[in-house]
Structure 1
Amino acid sequence: MSMNTKSTPWKGSWIWGGPEESPRNEWRWFRTSFVCPPNLETMARAVLWITADSRYEVYVNGKRVGRGPVRYFSTDIFYDSHEIGHHLRRGELNTIAVQVMHFGVSNFQYLRERGGLLAQLDAFSGDNEITLAQTGADWLTSVHAGQDPAISRMSCQTGFAERIDGRKLAEDWTSSDYSDAQWGQAKVLGPVGMEPWVRLHPRDIPFLTEEPVLPARVISLNRVVPYPLTAFIDAYHLMKAPGEENANHIRFCGAFATILRLREEAQVKVMFHVGGLGIVRLGERLYKEEELEMEPPLAYIRATLPAGDHILFYTVYGPEHGHSNRVGVDADKEIAWISPLEKEFAETGERMSPFVRIGPSFTYSCFDYVDQDELFASWETEKIHFADRIAPLSSIEELRAIGCPVEPVPHSLANGEDAFMPQFAKRESEAYSVPANLQRIAVASADPGVVPVFEGGDTEFMLDFGKEWSGFLEFELEAEAGITVDWYGIEYRKDAYVQHTFGLDNTLRYVTREGVQRYASPVRRGFRYVIVTVRGAVKPVLIRDVRFVQSNYPAPEIGGFQCSDMKLNRIWDISKHTTKLCMEDTFVDCPSYEQAFWVGDSRNEALVNYYVFGGTEIVERCLRLVPGSEFQTPLYGDQVPSAWTSVIPNWTFFWIVACREYAEHTGNRAFAAEMLPKMLLTLGAYLERLNADDLLDMKGWNLLDWAPMDQPNDGIVTHQNVMLVKALEETAAIAHFAGLPERGTECAELVVRIKAAINRHLWSDERKAYLDCIHPGGRRSNIFSMQTQVMALLAGVAEGERYATLSTYLTDTPEGFVPIGSPFMSFFYYEMLMKSGNVQWMLDDMRDNFGFMLDNGATTCWEMYGHTTMNRANENDLTRSHCHAWSAAPGYFLGAYVLGVRPAAPGWAKVVIEPLHGDLSWASGTVPLPLGGCIEVAWKAENGEIASLVVTAAENTELDIRVPAACSIDIRRVRRLPELG
């Protein structure tokens, strides 16, 4: 029996607790206790099978033994198996405790269903087994009293930020000694196989790593004073209909209002971090959009207000995807805000925020790009009409008089417990030198770090963890009760500049109890720096331990690369580290902002992984997840599993390419045969969108690169048609590889037709290049881009004279052509450079573009290059994400082409060794093989040629070595061990 597969019957039932099926951001505790038989020593092992909706952490006798499950589509949920025999106490009382974190909202990793827990503990010895525990009505449950669910979303892609009240947190709730007498009985939902969790599957990848990382140093100390009033507002939830079942973005026409109360005249400053901000009213004055002070993404108004109550309202329109609105108010006198409906709800006892919602008067969900034009035009018209109607009004009574719906906003959806906005909404910030006793936080010392106390302000300091990491924050501190300690992760700083994570609430707010306390966050985060702010302390807080538990797919760092250029060595290193941090239970785009599995990104990430780590299970898992989005669209989603119904056609085409590459990389013909029907299904949906000229003509997110190309969301986009040709070719190839060549015949025929159509309709004889697109109605684009030419070359659409002409553009871009705009697009550019033998050009491009990142302190590869970014609002704002695996191309190309190690047969049974040296004098490194073992290569170059080569390989690996005849070759063979069971 595989210890990963539940081959014995499930006896446990799905359980939950509380009155709500799917409560918003609820952390719920479950416990059961049992006496372990004293003769269990004869049992070989004990396995706890477990899964939950949405995520869980499980403890046995107070010891955390695991977390999960991996991301899933609800109908096909995965379960985990934890071997826990060594944690059980024979003949004594044992306790299983589970913390389930239920999102209650959909995001880019999860589709909302109801909360649930399923678990079963079995002990095995030979053919004998007993069930020691199983989820059922005998389990007890309680809401996590210390976790505040009324907190903002981290981002639209993820779950929620974190607010923990240590005064309500029972640290020993996982132990057998804890009294759960006040807990309630769990509710049995139903048996295994119930909806929505119809099918259970064993976890299909290993558990992620957990590696403690300590901070390297404290790099700054400041006395800070935040704005007296700050709050988040979940506009997405409040303005959306029908609910949280999807994560599609919305456009709407609405407003929010509050009352500012002053006891005396004051200078007032209001800060907005709001998407789609329109007009603003403060008291008697109306501010139009052009009158706002702008420091993107922030906007401000200022006014002198007399004593009394003053309305503050603003219109907001979207597009909104789940990020919270934020409002902050500063004043030089005492100020408070209250709800305009405070009197109406004073006697109800219901907890309300200081805000009311006005509208929406119009809203629609943008779930795809089909038939949205009319809705968009209506929204644009309603924006003007809505603003004109409410602009003259200065009270809630006047708004109601004209029929505007005005509703109170619950505390759960808007409140001042937000830890994010105070990070940048500061009235004062004064720098101090870092004392030695605070610096102790960054060393493994028995002496605690001492956080100084400032009169009339809070204490803020910044921890540097040395490089970017991805995982879970833990800390231990000693404090008086009721002190607020805010933890805020960021990726980038430069001198005094801090790049705030706008669009990501990367905060944890912890309120202390008296004495020594420890907290381990279950919320995944990515950052390099942590800004810690201690608020309201009278006595110094002592910090005894801060650590970050780095967690990623357990891929050993087998691959290696070194050469005579230290800059290229550093570039390879940051490519490796970036890829590692973006390997979770799937590949993810980044460890901070999104943590989402973007399908197109993962094709390139898989290739880097093959050369650096050699991981295969994570690649297969990613590829298998994609067709699960068929119930949303047969075109397949561009990120999965996700509640945002979004399609980037090229991302689906890259998935097809990645399926063929994986099948041949591993030699897995069964995988090829299994995926072939899924590839044909989605291609069939795309082929239905061919026009009479045999060109793909469709609405969609027709993206390839973040660059000013002409790639409209409707029409005939050239690079998309080119990639359709490539996808058809790859499908025909995988059909042949699977032993089903007849299944690919139609694909091969379509390649000829569509390739001819592209060359007939999308080529410009005048510019000697492929135009970017043909717009609806037949208007031919006058924009030409390197992106389109590169993809036409790669897909083999350009042939003969056209191929020769476009090949010259790779190193001599014609004037006026849109240049490569992102490291992601550079991957395809490098592929074409290698096909044309331009290794020197590729090396110089890496030195320039990735070297710029290194010059600015990068420890991981950025989403954008920085010097090519389109965001010029701040010269320090070089890129949004500073760790993005779609940018890690050097990790692949330096191994595949500079070392020169590439597969020449399925499963790497035959390997080509063809080093390309450029201006390098030597290189060495290791490339892992998919079935185990590796290839080691070391070469030296003299007089412009490879002069010596040493190759170490397994005895049964066939080598095709391609070097000059005069090269000295030393082949060293090693024996291969058989696989152990």
Structure 2
Amino acid sequence: MYDAFEQSPYKNGRWIAPHNSEDIQNFYFRARTQFDLSDRLERAVLHLCADSYYLLFVNGLEVSRGPARGTHTHNYYDSLDVATYLRPGRNVIAVLVQCMNYDTFVAAPVQPGLIAEIDGVVATDASWEVSIGNDWRRDVESYSIQVGHSEWRDMRLEPLGWTLADDSVAWEPAWVIPLSSQLYAKKLLPRSIPALIERIIFPVDIPVVASVPEVADLCAVEISEWMLQEAYSTPSESRITGLATVLSGQEGNARIEPAPDGSGITIIFNFEAEIAGRFKLELTAPEGTVVDVCYNESVKDERLAIKHSQDSYHFVDRYVLREGRQTIGSSVYDRGFKMVQIVLRNFGSTVEIHKVSAIENRYPFVKRGSFHCDDMLLNRIWDVCCETLEACTTDVFTDCPWRERAYWVNDLIVENKTSLQAFGASEVHRRAFRMAFSEVREGELFAGVCPCPDGYDHLVLVPTNLFVVLMLKDYLMHSGDKQLIRELLPKITIILETFSRWTDDRGLVSPDERYWNFFDWSYELNDISLNGKTTSLLNYLYVMAMKSMLEMAEISAAKVDDTAYKLRISKASINLEECFFKQDEKLLSDWIDDDGRSSHSSQLAHAFALLSGETSVDNRKYFEDALSDTDILIPELYLHYFVFQAMQMCGREAEALGRIRKYWGNIVKTGSPTIWEAGIHECGKEAFGGDGSLCHGFATCPIAFLQNVILGIEPLTPGFESFKVEPRSLGLNSAEGRIPTPHGNIYIRWVSEGAHLNVELKVPRGTIAHVSSGSRYGEGRHFFKIKINSMPGGVIDCQNIDTVSQAVGVR
């Protein structure tokens, strides 16, 4: 049962915690050890893991925080060379640990625990000492259902000097968690991604400063309820001085004076960037001063909306200060924000604010991909989409920084491909796929969110289990990583077998109604549920997934029963149009039931049908026309990803580009640095009852369109060993960009000249470029012209003329 633990780097280290802490929720504890060294060490690798978060100090210096999020079956340990922090003589390793001790969308803890070891030097055992973090109050509001509790910390109770073992608090011997604990059953895996980039960001503006009434009961838990209702008034000029000095990024000197009536002061700091990280406020204050810290993305009615339509959303933390200078902000876990509101209360003498900043954490992407054309709006859309992806990627791809910071696997259908196009393949893609498959649930399906709390079967998103096949194919084509495909294909087979068990005698899939048949928010925002229904969307997607699986199996030389899949594809395809196509309306019905075909149709269903390759010659034109039909349901920003692919397939690229300019253009024209969660059926912050995110990675599909269509580059074989070159001008005069591949970057530049495109193409070594005219080019820089003829339906016929190459090409 514990083989996974025994194969980890821990030879002597065991999980430790305070005794009887295994059932306490929202639990903090400190652990430390002292040891002597006779000499300096050239190398000292500390392997460290906590369930669920840690903050590491070595000899009083903050060294690291972590770990990378795990799942119900895996924990990840960090390996840190701490030799530079150690010294001859006495040394202290100290760790702060936090565990919600219940499932959230970012952690799946077993119980509070810490395990650490430097081989031959020190390891967690009964010789360590621990102390319960009583400076954190446990019975507080939920911050969000996705993250856990808010933080309420009394700084007066912190054992100052504890990181150097120089405090006066009574510590107790660590409890060694017994081997019977499920902590030892979880696999301990090495961190599979590089360290995140930490960047210091300072606020650029202070949009609101106001006085707030004195609060009688500062022990009441319901902070967010009355914060949204408390009245604001204008403070006297003499009460607040020097506030603008904290915008410099240097040591400021803002002074806030107390008022005779006991009123407090509220201040909003605008960082003008979407941040996943930590807010830091350095200040000097009298003992007992209370600081409430609120997080959001925009100001509404001169305050941040910190309590939302879901009762579990209360985006506020509280700190009770000790006397003197101190720094406050979230202790071990990140917050997401663009704006931060602080409220200072209960101070009887001057409060001085010295510095306001944020520490942003992002995955270390390299911006290998690029796009630039003569339309500045499209350039801005590309840049904002890339910024959105970066803001949404930390230790894995996440939906948004502010509301959840959760890894929604369905979002990866867009984030996976667009990040591959913008940044190239990296470890975070492999980690994302392996994490998802480690959470396979009862019924051989995985949930939409990873990790997913136990008992949340409704978060098993049916289409996501088919999307993942398409995601892996995108990953294979862009990365060339056949090893991961061979590793995961057996698990894909199990998932597809579940869908096979859901098929009827027509070969059509009707999913288990317990699960969420979620495709795109356009349905839910229009009060439409697809749960348990036999839908055209899911069935065409099922065909697409089976075809993609067979293609990957052939490419990676994996063994699958291709005969069985071909029979399933054939059986479903024969019946799809017969069951779903409405002859009188010339549209696909979104679902069928006992009463026959529903009256509801969507652009998305027709996109899936076209992309599946299973449309009849007689009806294909109707399917293509439906992509432009505004009388049927148009998808939200998210799954325009598939509609744009279908438009590209049938020569409607100009219309797709028009939608990008309209919907994504409307967002960037507001000055937003990132792309919103919703921008069609509802918009921005007002979407989802005020819970709408202003930064959502799943809304970045224009990256794919601009690279595949305007630049015209797509892989034909895994890893771009061969790739297509078929740029579309669509009214533009010029475009250029880089496309990352495992062999190096492809570079393309074209300029429109009458009926031709003058093209410059750089082909990396080990790849072959295939131009639509039939010409092929190998390594080197090539110059040629493409003749453009507009054909019926918008299809572009490209011919190469007057070709000149600076390297020996393959013709």
- What's the TM-score once normalised by structure 2's chain length? 0.89
**Alignment partner of 2:242 out of 429, 432, 437:** 437
CA deviation after TM superposition for structure 1 residue 968, in Å? 7.3
Q: How far apart, CA to CA, are the structure 2 residues paired with 1:430 and 1:797?
A: 66
Pick from 484, 507, 510 the counterpart of residue 290 of structure 2.
484
Q: Which of these residues, 196, 204, 210, is aligned with residue 192 of structure 2?
A: 204
2:749 match: 938
- The answer as to 2:760 corresponding to 1:950 is yes
Structure 2 distance, partners of 1:51, 1:548, is: 25
Question: Partner amino acid for 2:521?
Answer: W
Change (3 A) 1:686 1:573: same
User: 1:711 Cα shift?
Assistant: 4.2
- Provide the C-alpha distance between the structure 1 equivalents of 2:506 and 2:595, rounded to a whole number of angstroms: 12
Partners of 2:210 and 2:362 in 1: CA distance: 33
The code of the aligned residue for 2:83 comes to: G
Q: Note if contact 1:224-1:426 (Cα within 8 Å) is conserved in structure 2.
A: yes
Match of 1:235 in 2: none
Seen in structure 2, the aligned counterparts of structure 1 residues 52 and 695 have a Cα distance that, compared at 3 Å, is same
Per-residue Cα deviation, 1:736-762 (whole angstroms, up to 9, x for no partner): 122135433311221111122212211
Change (3 A) 1:861 1:110: same
Query: C-alpha displacement at 1:543, in angstroms?
Result: 1.3
Letter in 1 for 2:208: S
**Which residue number in structure 2 is paired with residue 464 of structure 1?**
270
Instruction: State the match for 2:681 in structure 1.
Output: 868
Distance 1:191 1:82, change over 3 A: farther
Q: Equivalent residue of 1:562, what SS?
A: strand
**Structure 2, unpaired ranges of 5+:** 1-5, 773-785, 788-798
Aligned to 2:115: 118
Give the SS at the match of 2:439: helix
Cα distance, 1:667 vs structure 2: 1.8
CA deviation string 1:18-58 (max 9, x = no partner) = 323131101110001111231x44x4x21000111112121
State the SS of the aligned residue for 1:493.
coil
Q: Which amino acid aligns with 1:825?
A: L
CA distance in 1, matches of 2:658, 2:690: 21
Q: State how far apart, in whole Å, the 2-side matches of 1:220 and 1:973 are.
A: 61
Once residues 181 and 736 of structure 2 are traced to their aligned partners in structure 1, the CA distance between those partners, rounded to angstroms, is: 53
Give the 3 Å change call, closer, same or farther, for CA 65–92 of structure 1 in structure 2.
same
Matched, 1:850 2:670: no
Instruction: Tell me the equivalent position of 1:914.
Output: 726
| Counterpart for residue 97 of structure 2 | 100
In structure 1, how many angstroms separate the alpha carbons of the residues matched to 2:578 and 2:500? 19
Deviations 1:678-720 (A, max 9, x none): 0010111121111232211131311212223854312312211
Could you say what secondary structure the match of 2:494 adopts?
Answer: helix
Q: 1:738 aligns with which of 546, 556, 565?
A: 556
Secondary structure at the counterpart of residue 108 of structure 1: coil
**Which deviates more, 421-430 or 19-28?**
421-430
Query: Are the counterparts in 2 of residues 953 and 972 from structure 1 also a CA contact under 8 Å?
Result: no
Whole-Å separation in 2 of the counterparts to 1:427 and 1:969: 72
2:627 aligned residue: 810
- In the TM superposition, what are the counterparts of 1:424-823 in structure 2 within 5 Å? 424-430=228-234, 437-451=242-256, 453-454=258-259, 456=261, 457-493=263-299, 496=302, 499-500=305-306, 502=308, 503=310, 504-521=313-330, 522-643=332-453, 644-645=456-457, 646-698=459-511, 699=513, 700-707=515-522, 708=526, 710-740=528-558, 742-775=560-593, 777-811=594-628, 813=629, 816-820=631-635, 822-823=636-637
For 1:883 and 1:227, the matched residues in 2 are separated by: 34
1:31 and 2:29 matched: no
Q: Which residue of 2 aligns with 1:894?
A: 706
Deviation, 1:668, is 2.1
Deviation for aligned residue 1:464: 0.8
Structure 1 pair 113–195 and aligned structure 2 pair: CA distance change class (3 A): closer
* Cα pair distance change 1:949/1:164, threshold 3 Å: same
Q: CA 1:432–1:842 in 2, change beyond 3 Å: closer, same or farther?
A: farther
Distance 1:671 1:226 in 2: 59
1:877: how far off?
A: 7.2
Check whether the contact 2:722–2:767 (CA below 8 A) recurs between aligned residues.
Answer: yes
CA separation in 2, counterparts of 1:193 and 1:146? 27
Instruction: After superposition, give the CA deviation of every residue in 1:573-613 in whole Å (9 maximum; x if it has no partner).
Output: 11111111111222111111111111111121011101112
Give the 3 Å change call, closer, same or farther, for CA 166–459 of structure 1 in structure 2: same
Residues 1:806 and 1:876: Cα distance change in structure 2 (over 3 Å): closer
Instruction: Report the 3-state secondary structure (helix = DSSP H, G, I; strand = E; otherwise coil) of the residue aligned with 1:211.
Output: strand
2:390 is aligned with what amino acid?
Answer: K
CA offset digits 1:277-318 (Å, max 9, x no partner)? xxxxxxxxxxxxxxxxxxxxxxxxxxxxxxxxxxxxxxxxxx
Q: Distance in 2 between matches of 1:879 and 1:833?
A: 31
Q: Label 1:486 to 1:575 Cα distance change in 2 as closer, same or farther (>3 A).
A: same
User: Take 1:876 and 1:195, find their aligned partners in 2: how far apart are those partners?
Assistant: 38
Whether the 8 Å contact between 1:221 and 1:462 is mirrored in structure 2 is: yes
Residue identity matched to 1:655 = V
User: Which one is further off, 456-465 or 219-228?
Assistant: 219-228
Tell me, in whole angstroms, the C-alpha distance in 2 between the residues paired with 1:197 and 1:835. 49
Task: Specify whether residues 220 and 971 from structure 1 end up closer, same or farther in structure 2 by C-alpha distance, changes over 3 A only.
Answer: farther
The alpha carbon displacement at 1:214 in A equals 1.1
Tell me how many residue pairs correspond in the alignment.
Answer: 765
Q: Deviations over 1:395-443 (max 9, x none)?
A: xxxxxxxxxxxxxxxxxxxx72343233312134448889771111111
Query: Structure 1's 447 and 87: CA in aligned 2 closer, same or farther, altered over 3 A?
Result: same
- Partners of 2:520 and 2:502 in 1: CA distance: 22
- Quote the offset at 1:195 in angstroms: 4.6
CA distance in 2, matches of 1:102, 1:109: 11
**C-alpha deviation, 1:838, in angstroms:** 2.6
In structure 2, the residue matched to 1:134 is 123
Judging changes above 3 Å, is the alpha-carbon distance between structure 1 residues 858 and 8 closer, same or farther for their aligned structure 2 residues? Answer: closer
Identity %: 25
CA distance in 2, matches of 1:431, 1:877: 32
SS at the partner of 2:62?
strand
- Matches of 1:76 and 1:506, distance apart in 2: 29
Q: Shift of residue 108 of structure 1?
A: 1.9
Q: Would the aligned equivalents of 1:709 and 1:783 in 2 still touch at CA under 8 Å?
A: no
* 1:22 corresponds to: 23
Report the Cα distance in structure 2 between the residues aligned to 1:734 and 1:180, rounded to whole angstroms.
Answer: 62
Give the deviation of 1:935 after TM superposition: 1.9
- Structure 1 stretches of 5 or more lacking a match? 123-130, 231-414, 975-981
Q: Report the Cα distance in structure 1 between the residues aligned to 2:273 and 2:149, rounded to whole angstroms.
A: 24
Shift of the 696–115 alpha-carbon distance from structure 1 to 2, 3 Å rule, reads same
Query: Once the two structures are superposed, what CA deviation does each residue of 1:304-351 show, in whole Å capped at 9, x if it has no partner?
Result: xxxxxxxxxxxxxxxxxxxxxxxxxxxxxxxxxxxxxxxxxxxxxxxx
Describe the SS at the equivalent of 1:109. coil
Residue 837 (structure 1) shift = 2.9
Task: Note the C-alpha offset of 1:971.
Answer: 6.1
Gap change, CA 1:135 and 1:728, over 3 Å in 2: same
Do the aligned partners of 2:155 and 2:321 also contact (CA within 8 Å) in 1? yes
SS at match of 2:407: coil
CA distance 1:944–1:744, shift in 2 (3 Å): same
CA contact (8 A) 1:863 1:879 kept: no
Deviations 1:190-226 (A, max 9, x none): 3599655342211111122211111112122112237
Any idea what the Cα deviations from partners look like across 1:918-964, whole Å, max 9, x if unmatched? Answer: 122122222222x2632222222233642x22233433332224533
Q: What SS does the corresponding residue of 1:219 show, helix, strand or coil?
A: strand
Q: Which residue of structure 2 lines up, in the alignment, with residue 360 of structure 1?
A: none
Partner deviation per Cα, 1:460-508 (whole Å, 9 max, x = no partner): 1111112211111222111111111111111123785755561432222
Paired amino acid for 1:906: P
Judge conservation of contact 2:294–2:306 (CA < 8 Å) in 1: no
Distance 1:857 1:496 in 2: 20
- C-alpha distance in structure 1 between counterparts of 2:20 and 2:719, whole Å: 54
- Partner Cα separation in structure 2 for residue 846 and residue 483 of structure 1: 50
Instruction: Evaluate the alpha carbon distance shift between residue 635 and residue 766 of structure 1 in structure 2; reply closer, same or farther with a 3 A threshold.
Output: same
